[in-house]
């Protein structure tokens, strides 16, 4: 199911997610929702807190840019090592329309549980290494905008507030229109 992706600075995005104790069907359902929501929004990664679930679960799919990789779901991901540095222009599904350069490690080694609860270790580079760092950041309540200058972050915050106000107005309008349609339907039936 495609879930609504929270927009920064939503307070849930600042919270720390909790470790998963058992990889069961509820976690696999969460993983499916994360993939559905990520693909619907054309993203390469999504973390559970972005759909309001404070659990240590992320999904990634960088295959459009890295055909040798594959879609990955990671439960309780832990970065074991970081090698080198690289500047990468990052965006985030919770900060729509924005992109800024962030300094990241070029190569990372991550340990995680897969969808079956089996421990895996992966060493990766390129976009996948960036995405792993970006998504694991979400699990500790850190956004890519926390890695950029205060000035740039505050400008983005203003644009997000405007965007949220516009979305809120749209929602209210739609609700009012639906209500009107419902009451219109009732009087016609009478
Ligand atoms: Zn993000």
Same domain, yes or no, for 21 and 51?
A: yes
**Average pLDDT over the chain, rounded to an integer:** 95
Q: Is residue 90 part of a domain?
A: yes
Instruction: State the catalytic residue, choosing from 90, 98, 100, 135.
Output: 135
Same domain, yes or no, for 28 and 122?
A: yes
Q: Is residue 64 part of a domain?
A: yes
Higher pLDDT residue, 8 or 184? 8
Q: Is residue 1 part of a domain?
A: no
Q: Nearest 5 degrees, angle CA 22-CA 25-CA 31?
A: 90
pLDDT score, position 141: 98
Q: Is residue 3 part of a domain?
A: no
In angstroms, what is the span from residue 186 Cα to ligand 1's centroid? Answer: 44
> What is the rounded average pLDDT of the residues 109-115?
98
Pairing assessment for the beta strands 119-125 and 100-104 based on DSSP bridges: unpaired
> What is the rounded average pLDDT of the residues 79-105?
97
pTM, entire model: 0.90
In angstroms, what is the span from residue 143 Cα to ligand 1's centroid? Answer: 6
Same domain, yes or no, for 132 and 156?
A: no
- Over residues 42-51, the pLDDT tens digits come to 999 999 999 9
* Strand ranges, E, within the chain: 45-47, 57-60, 72-83, 86-90, 100-104, 107-113, 119-125
Q: Is residue 103 part of a domain?
A: yes
Q: Is residue 97 part of a domain?
A: yes
pLDDT score, position 137: 98
Same domain, yes or no, for 185 and 135?
A: no
98 tagged catalytic: no
Same domain, yes or no, for 97 and 129?
A: yes
Those residues whose C-beta lies under 8 Å from the C-beta of residue 142, and which sit 6 or more positions away, are none
pLDDT score, position 21: 97
In angstroms, what is the span from residue 120 Cα to ligand 1's centroid? Answer: 23
Q: How many CB atoms lie within 10 A of CB 90?
A: 21
pLDDT score, position 188: 53
Same domain, yes or no, for 135 and 53?
A: yes
Domain count of the chain?
A: 2
In angstroms, what is the span from residue 92 Cα to ligand 1's centroid? Answer: 4
Same domain, yes or no, for 110 and 164?
A: no
Same domain, yes or no, for 116 and 136?
A: yes
Q: Which domain holds residue 161?
A: 150-190
Same domain, yes or no, for 67 and 123?
A: yes
In angstroms, what is the span from residue 131 Cα to ligand 1's centroid? Answer: 8
What percent of the chain lies above the pLDDT cut of 90?
A: 89
Q: Is residue 108 part of a domain?
A: yes
pLDDT score, position 167: 87
Same domain, yes or no, for 16 and 85?
A: yes
Say how far apart CA 137 and CA 146 lie, in whole Å. Answer: 10
Q: Is residue 141 part of a domain?
A: yes
> What is the rounded average pLDDT of the residues 103-117?
98
């Amino acid at each position: 199911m495609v879930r609504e992706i929270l927009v920064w600075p939503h307070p849930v995005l600042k919270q720390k997610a909790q470790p998963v104790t058992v990889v069961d069907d509820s976690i696999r359902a969460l993983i499916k929702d994360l993939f559905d929501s990520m693909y619907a929004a054309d993203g390469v990664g999504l973390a559970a807190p972005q759909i309001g679930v404070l659990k240590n679960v992320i999904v990634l799919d960088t295959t459009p840019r890295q055909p040798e990789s594959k879609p990955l779901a990671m439960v309780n991901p832990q970065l074991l090592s970081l090698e080198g540095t690289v500047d990468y222009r990052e965006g985030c599904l919770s900060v729509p329309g924005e992109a800024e350069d962030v300094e990241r490690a070029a190569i990372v080694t991550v340990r995680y549980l897969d969808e079956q609860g089996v421990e895996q270790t992966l060493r990766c580079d390129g976009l996948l290494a960036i995405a792993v760092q970006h998504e694991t950041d979400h699990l500790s309540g850190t956004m890519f905008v926390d890695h950029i200058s205060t000035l740039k972050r505050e400008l983005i915050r203003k644009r997000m507030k405007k965007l949220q106000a516009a979305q809120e107005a749209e929602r209210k309008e739609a609700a009012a229109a639906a209500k009107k349609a419902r009451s219109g339907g009732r009087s016609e039936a009478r």
